[in-house]
Amino acid sequence: MIKKMFALSTVLSGILLISGCSQKKEASDINMTSQTRDVFAMDTFMNMKAYGQNADIALSEAEKRILQLEEELSVTNETSDIWKIDHSDGKLVEVSDDTAIIINKAIEMGDRTGGALDITLYPVLKEWGFTTGDHKIPGEQTLKRLLENVDYSKVNIDGDTVSLPEDVEIDLGALAKGYTGDEIMKSMAGNGISSAIVSLGGNVQALGTKPDGSNWKVAVRDPFAPDTDMCIIEIADKAVITSGNYERYFTADDGSVYWHILDPADGYPADNGLVSVTVIGDCGLDCDALSTALFVAGYDGARKLLKSDPSFDLILVSDDHRIYYTEGIADCFTNISSMEAEVISLD
Amino acid sequence: MTKGVKLLIGAVIVIFAAAVVFAIIGSKPSDSTWVDIVQNNKIIYHLDLSEEKDRTFKIDYPDGGWNEVQIKDGHISIIDADCPDHTCIKTGELRSENIPIVCLPHKLVIRFSDEGAGE
């Protein structure tokens, strides 16, 4: 008898295990098979997973779109829009719709964050060696001279025509992957997929829910131990995009650590109290741009922007090992780190 | 209350609590011991780490280059490679479902397999 009751309770607990989600779809949906695809592009590792009969075709189409975007947006490929703009000597350059959309977004986000996002930082980023891996600390004079040409308001765009003053160069690295995520979602949906998830170098974007109707669980890395996860959030139809100081950095001879997210104000790695910024929202492009901008803007800057635009959620990690997250994700946020986590108060 | 019933109640509470914790936290880090070694979307090894003997082996990249994989005490890592950045080596042992070991130049990925990994 006891054995029977024990078995029953095990089964009941098992049911609880698999029913952690709120809604269930038809059994046929649950049994949908998935296909995955790795893509090595944009200097990063991308992994896509799609569910349903059309998954293989949808993944191939999405891969084509990624490679097309890489060709347009690469800063080093001599046939790309960005290379043409950066080597235009002040002349007008015709670009693709994709490039124009991203440049317009970059200018908009620069305006909204008081210049915390600046796509004309590229020459400074090169000087630090973050583009080649050949790292060095730039001299004061060099930085000063380069910063004279850092100002995103010098980028002129009219329709699909772009021009830059000589000596100004742009790079869309802070936005390209976010836009790519959006375009993958569009491509997948256009191919009849209703359930898919992609990771573009750690930036996650999901189409719909999992086939069984439950939310996707997305892990955010611990910036103090980047090989472990810090928290799990549950999402559907959202992008989860993180900018962290652990992604690309180098340690100088004196032991100081320099990371790749630079502050347009002084050309040095942004050091305004945050070590990781995760933005969760509907639009990958917006989230990607904001994650970089808010890393630079710091906690107060992030709070200020949230007050004017509550359409996205945030997970911030401060350099004193505290996690701050927005009220909007309180129900789907699980802290699995040893850090204290608290809700960002907007009052 | 008999000893058996007390035991049963205890067991139910423990299992229930474990289920709740599992439902909240999910399955990370991975409980799975199955891993795939994938080269440019082709699974070249499908291994159960709990069964594998300690060993190291080299994986050649058709366009030139190699990575040396180590299996030790049920853990897998890349310990040497001729790629310039060595990101794959710095990643260390494979621990999380979310963080695969990746060598971009050689299009090589080591990750926990869907088989037995759960979601």
Contacts of B31 in chain A (CB under 8 A): none
Which pLDDT score, from 0 to 100, does residue B85 have? 83
Return the CATH superfamily for domain B34-112.
N-utilization substance G protein NusG, insert domain (2.60.320.10)
A227, A231, A235: best mutation site toward chain B, by most B Cβ within 10 Å? A227
Average pLDDT over residues A6-31: 45
Q: In chain A, which among 104-143 make CB contacts under 8 A with chain B?
A: 133
Give the per-residue pLDDT at B32. Answer: 81
Contact A38 B22 (CB under 8 A): no
pLDDT at position B107, please? 95
Rg (CA), chain A: 22
pLDDT in tens, B14-30: 656 655 444 444 444 56
Strands (DSSP E) along A165-255, which ranges? 196-200, 203-207, 216-222, 225-235, 239-244, 249-251
Q: Where are the domains of chain A?
A: 72-163
Binding-face residues of B in 55-114 toward A, CB within 8 A: 84-85, 91-92, 95-96, 98-100, 102, 104, 107, 109, 114
The sheet that has B55-60: what strands, in order across it? B55-60, B66-72, B75-81
Consult the annotation and say whether A106 binds a ligand: no
B8 in A contact zone (CB under 8 Å): yes
B9 pLDDT band (50/70/90 cuts)? low
**Which tens digit of pLDDT belongs to each residue from A28-81?**
555 578 999 999 999 999 999 999 999 999 999 999 999 999 999 999 999 999
Beta strands A322-325 and A340-343, pairing class:
parallel
CB contacts < 8 A, A to B, total 80
A27-41, A56-70, A123-137, B89-103: which has the highest mean pLDDT? A56-70
Positive/negative CA dihedral, A144, A81, A277, A293: positive
Residue A14 has pLDDT above 50, yes or no: no
- Report pLDDT digits (tens) over A258-292: 999 999 999 999 999 999 999 999 999 999 999 99
The pLDDT of residue A335 is above 90? yes
Q: Would you state the pLDDT for residue A12? A: 46
Residue A229 to residue B102, Cβ atoms within 8 A: no
> What local confidence, expressed as pLDDT, does residue B13 receive?
63
Six-digit token string for B88: 């794959």
- With contact defined as beta carbons under 8 Å apart, do A50 and A30 qualify? no
* Domains in chain B: boundaries: 1-30, 34-112
List, as one string, the DSSP characters of chain B: --HHHHHHHHHHHHHHHHHHHHHHH-S-S----EEEEEETTEEEEEEETTTPPSEEEEEE-TTS-EEEEEEETTEEEEEEE-SSS-HHHHT-S---SS--EEETTTTEEEEE-STTT--
Structure confidence at residue A47 (pLDDT): 95
- Of the options 1.10.730.10, 2.170.190.11, 1.10.3980.10, 3.30.70.2740, the CATH number for the domain spanning A72-163: 1.10.3980.10
ipTM score assigned to the predicted complex: 0.76
| pTM of the predicted structure, to 2 decimals | 0.84
Is A21's pLDDT higher than 60? Answer: no
Higher local confidence (pLDDT), A20 or A147 = A147
In the predicted model, what is the mean pLDDT of residues A250-265?
94
A174 is in an annotated binding site: yes
Q: How confident is the model at residue A246 (pLDDT cuts 50, 70, 90)?
A: confident
